[in-house]
């Protein structure tokens, strides 16, 4: 099972790319910068979700080895 942070982070990253593109097309620097910030936040959230997945995998592996 994939951690919800990975899904939400990927969605935030994609939304940020769309915002940045819209900002470029319209010449809106604020929107472009918001898009970049959303991308960074999405990437960080995705990494956190990946770490949670790894921890869960290791805990499951340890639990399987005990039984």
Give 2-45 pLDDT, tens digit per residue.
899 999 999 999 999 999 999 999 999 999 999 999 999 999 99
Residue 55 has pLDDT above 90, yes or no: yes
pTM summary value:
0.82
Please say if the pLDDT value at position 49 is more than 90: yes
* pLDDT for the residue 67: 67
Output the pLDDT for position 1.
Answer: 77
Q: How far is CA 8 from CA 12, 17, 24, 62, in A?
A: 6, 14, 24, 28
Full domain range(s) for residue 19: 4-66
Domain count, the chain: 1
């Amino acid at each position: 099972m994939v951690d919800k942070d990975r899904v939400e982070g990927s969605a935030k990253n994609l939304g940020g790319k769309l915002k940045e593109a819209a900002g470029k097309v319209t010449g809106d620097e604020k929107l472009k910068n918001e898009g970049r910030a959303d991308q960074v936040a999405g990437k960080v959230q995705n990494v956190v979700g990946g770490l949670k997945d790894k921890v869960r995998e290791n805990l499951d592996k340890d639990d399987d080895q005990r039984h």
